[in-house]
Structure 1
Amino acid sequence: MRTATAASAEPPQAGSDRRGPVARFLRAGTSSALATGVSQLTFIGLSVWGATPALTSTLAFLAGAVPNFLLARRWAWGRSGTPALRRELLPYVAVIAATGLTAVGLTTLTGHLIEPLALSGFWRVVVLDVVFLGSYALVFMLKFALLDRLVFRDAGRTPGSTS
């Protein structure tokens, strides 16, 4: 009997799920969109509550990162079981941390830049949210490529597969 950790560290067996790159991209995009929805609810809620852009974008990022990992790992790349810490979890955290830092940095910078404009609460939330979302749109392609080629590189591929 294999443990969950040992089973998850092994590459998929021949005949396992063979998602092509387009299917992985679409599924990763869908899981990212769902995670973005969670992030958006968190971001808007905290912004309306009056939290700082740095706190708002950080907590919104974290609120979306966890479900995105779980959903993308299982649905887009066909992984199950406990994730291998050094092979999946830590590289995933590094990739999304770069994405998150980009979103937090751009949102925080925008918050500082629009402060002198004294925008009303509604318009301040709109401007910050556009920047927060835009930063994710900018880095999605890079994030997908890194996850597909580095983090989950052998998921859904059989030993002779070149995709």
Structure 2
Amino acid sequence: MRYGPAWWWRAARSPLGQKLIRYCLGSVVTTVISFTVLSVSYGVLHLWDAVADTLLANIVATVPGYWLNRTWTWGRTGRSDPWREVVPYWVLSLLGIAISMGTADLAGRLATSHHLPALAATALVDGANLVAWSGVFVGKYLLFDRMFRGVAEAMDQRAGRGVATALRALEVEGRMEPGLEAASPAVVGEPIGLLRLPGALEDTGVGSELDPPAEAAVGGR
């Protein structure tokens, strides 16, 4: 059988499968947060109506959702890019919140018109919220994947250009090791620690403390 247990196991262990699993688990976490806040604010405290309480619950859940998606699902670290990450994420999230508010309004009206008890009304509003977010689940994944991967690729390109600039500067100063000039375009993407920059270790005083084998390990390619 083509799609048997072994196939699903291999798919789950693939990079894409791992990313999808983390995305789904992150959505479970944010859904639990959203449901908890909505159940307390609407079903217990009766703060506002179904629409306002749904807005509150989803905004509260969006904050940890951003962190989970960025750092855990897509493995992004460091400072967030406001215009390429934060703003698009909130725009997409607010779109989903708007849809959930529409379904919550419909659910609240149905609960009122049918005179449902508080527990049943809360369950209906929670269910409407779940249906709304399920509808945008796949679309959000595709957009988030493109957004976070695009930022990572742009940063890698900037880092590569920075290494290339440093190599050219060393070449102009005459500090480039012979033979490294021809190899520099091929090693732009390698960690800078793998390159031997003549004089750099001597300038910092580190080179004098290394024994000959250690120097060879640092300088060799």
Task: Indicate whether the TM-score tops 0.5.
Answer: yes
Matched, 1:115 2:85: no
CA contact (8 A) 1:77 1:155 kept: no
Aligned counterpart, 2:122: 125
> Where do 5+ consecutive residues of structure 2 fail to align?
1-13, 158-221
Distance 2:122 2:58 in 1: 16
CA drift at 1:126: 0.9
Aligned counterpart, 1:5: none
CA drift at 1:156: 6.9
Matched, 1:21 2:13: no
Aligned residues: 140
Distance 1:133 1:28 in 2: 16
CA contact (8 A) 2:84 2:151 kept: no
Distance 1:133 1:155 in 2: 30
CA contact (8 A) 1:31 1:72 kept: yes
Superposition map of 1:72-151 within 5 A: 72-149=69-146, 151=147
Distance 2:19 2:152 in 1: 9
1:10-36 deviation per Cα after TM superposition (whole angstroms, max 9, x unaligned):
xxxxxxxxx833222211111111111
CA drift at 1:134: 1.4
Aligned counterpart, 1:11: none
Give identity over the alignment, percent: 24
Aligned counterpart, 2:163: none
CA drift at 1:89: 0.7
1:39-87 deviation per Cα after TM superposition (whole angstroms, max 9, x unaligned):
1110100112223101110011011100010111000011112210111
Q: Give the number of the structure whose residues are more often helix, by fraction.
A: 2
RCO higher in structure (CA 8 A, sep ≥6) = 1
CA drift at 1:154: 3.4
Distance 1:77 1:118 in 2: 45
Query: What's the RMSD between the two structures over aligned residues?
Result: 1.9
Distance 1:87 1:77 in 2: 14
Partner-residue secondary structure (3-state), 1:152: helix
* Structure 1: 4+ residue segments shifted above 3 A: 154-159
